[in-house]
Amino acid sequence: MPTLKTARLTLAFPIMHDNMNLDHYLRWLSNESVTRFSEQRHVAHTNVTQYEYLKSFVDSNDYFWEIQRTGVPIGSVTAFRNIPNRTANVGIMIGAVNLWGNGYASEALDAVCNFLFEDGCRKIDGGCMAANQAMISVFENVGFKYEATIGGLFLLDGKPEDAVFYGKFNQAKIIPLKRNGN
C-alpha cells in the first residue's frame, strides 16, 4: 500500500506484526463522540477484531491508511474499490477529537482521492448520515457533489435518520460509452 504525504499529514498502512499496539484504534472506536454517526457504534471492538480488520487489507484490492500528524496516529481512511467499474467507496475517521475542525479530514481525503484517480478510478463515492454535517462539509470541501438521499436508513437516538451520498468523478479520465457497436 503506498504511503501518501500532504503538507501536514502522512497516510500509511500500519506495520502489521503480532502484539502490535492497537490502543489508539480501540480508544477511537469506543468513543461515543467519534462513532456517533458511524455504524461502528454497534460493534464491540477488541485487539483481535481490529487486527483481523487491518489484516483483511493485506494483499487486497482495497486500501486502509492510518492518518498520522507529526508521527502520531489521529485517524484513518479506507477505500473499497470496485475494480470492474473503476470506482471506490471511501470512509474517513478522525479519532483524535481534540484535532477536529482543523481540516485534517479534508486534507487526508483529498490526498486519497488524488491517489485513487491516478490509480485508474473514474469515480469515488461516500455516504453518511444526514445529521453528520462535519462529514458533509468534508465531502464538499474535497469537491464531492450531492447525489442521493435514502430516507430513514439509519436509527440515530432511536429516530429514523436519512443517509446522504456524495460522489466525485475524475473528469480527466471519463471514457465515453460505446453504443450500437460504435
For residues 75 and 20, what is the distance between their CA atoms, to the nearest angstrom?
Answer: 17
For residues 118 and 127, what is the distance between their CA atoms, to the nearest angstrom?
Answer: 22
- Per-residue pLDDT band for 17 (boundaries 50, 70, 90) equals confident
| pLDDT tens column, 24-34 | 999 999 999 99
Helices and strands in the chain: count of H runs, count of E runs: 5, 8
| pLDDT tens column, 41-72 | 999 999 999 999 999 999 999 999 999 999 99
Write the burial class of residue 75 (CB in 10 Å: 0-12 exposed, 13-18 middle, 19+ buried): buried
**C-alpha cell recorded at residue 104:** 485534517
The model's pTM is 0.90
Q: What dotted CATH number matches 4-126?
A: 3.40.630.30
